[in-house]
Structure 1
Amino acid sequence: MRIISGTHKGRRITAPSKLPVRPTTDVAKEALFNILNNYYHIPELSIVDLFSGTGNIAYEFGARGAENITAVDANFDCVKFIKKTSAELALPIITIKSDVFKYLEKAPVKADIIFADPPYNFEDEKFAKITELVFKHDMLHEDGQLIIEHSKHTDLSKLENFKESRKYGSSVFSFFE
């Protein structure tokens, strides 16, 4: 994986092969950030990256100037890798080792963007639970968005607060506001 833009543009990051992850592809990530750049001034944003995995999305926000980034993952090795890499890159990423659903239940967080990249084999009920918890706990600032990355075989358009989805290869980003 590589950082597409910002202070570390072109920087390649190699995650240990033992991590149980599927990083967002560079093509999909570039498309996502092209969309976000049309709506937001990234350095002013507060970000929560759920199911953070390698930290791929968190690094991209950090390299583009975001200074309030929280990366949440249940896997100890993923959290350790993100903490180490963000320190090497001098990116302001706070790491939290937690089950995402427990985090969403208890975290007193408000963010501009909450990005979730759960496993592609997630059940529909779990996708619905993410949106339910984010909106029930009023976790988004005004004009904020929840973005869920998922497989092209999953349709989240029936969930409450759905705005639109964009497909890039086998990945889809669904936007909720």
Structure 2
Amino acid sequence: MRIVAGLYRGRRIAAPPGDETRPTSDRVRESLFSILGPLDGARVLDLFAGSGALGLEALSRGAAHVTFVDGANPAIRAVRANLEALGVAREAAAVRRQDARAFVRAARTAGHQYDLVLLDPPYRLAPELGRELSPALAELIAAGGRIVCESDRRAPLGLELPMTDERRYGDTLIRIHELD
């Protein structure tokens, strides 16, 4: 796996060992970030971060700060190792080992706002997460912010938020939600 474009273009990143994490392919990341366009100065939340590939791609493309959240120790270790290997400044990233739902509730209570939220949950959890996360995510998004969901096309992550784009890449489904 590698960073597709930007400051860290071509640099390799590691995925957590085992089959618990399903990293987003280079092809899907390249297409997604082409759709999203410039991220200069964006505040990004990478939920269910896994290897951190989505958030790292955002940093490489100009995001000011990314918060990586995952509940699994191997994923957190991989994100930290990837940040260190890329030489990402400490102030540009935060890594949290926490259940994504608990993090979203706490961030909402604290009044945190993000320009971009990247959601790539385990495919088996996607169907149940949409209704649960929708209200909280709506409050975490800054004006004009976007939420990107990656899921299996057969079991999509159905957020109850305005959808502006949907793309399929084999069995992978990408949905982009935008709030005014």
Q: What is the TM-score normalised by the length of structure 2? A: 0.88
Cα deviation for residue 64 of structure 1 reads: 1.6
Cα deviation for residue 155 of structure 1 reads: 4.2
Q: Secondary structure at the match of 1:70?
A: strand
8 A contact 2:133–2:159 mirrored in 1: no
Give runs of aligned pairs for residues 1-177 of structure 1, distance below 5 A: 1-18=1-18, 20-37=20-37, 41-91=38-88, 92-107=92-107, 108=110, 109-135=112-138, 138-155=139-156, 159-177=160-178
Deviates more, 1:27-36 or 1:123-132: 123-132
| Inter-partner Cα distance in structure 2 for 1:153 and 1:111 | 29
| Inter-partner Cα distance in structure 2 for 1:35 and 1:142 | 19
Q: Secondary structure at the match of 2:137?
A: helix
8 A contact 1:19–1:77 mirrored in 2: no
Q: CA RMSD in A?
A: 1.8
| Inter-partner Cα distance in structure 2 for 1:104 and 1:158 | 14
Number of residues of Structure 1 aligned to a counterpart in Structure 2: 172
Q: Secondary structure at the match of 2:117?
A: strand
Cα deviation for residue 169 of structure 1 reads: 1.8
Structure 2: stretches of 5+ with no match in the other structure: none
Report percent identity of matched pairs.
27
8 A contact 2:11–2:86 mirrored in 1: no
- Per-residue CA deviation, residues 35-71 of structure 1 (Å, 9 max, x unaligned), is 011xxx3121110000000011111111122121100
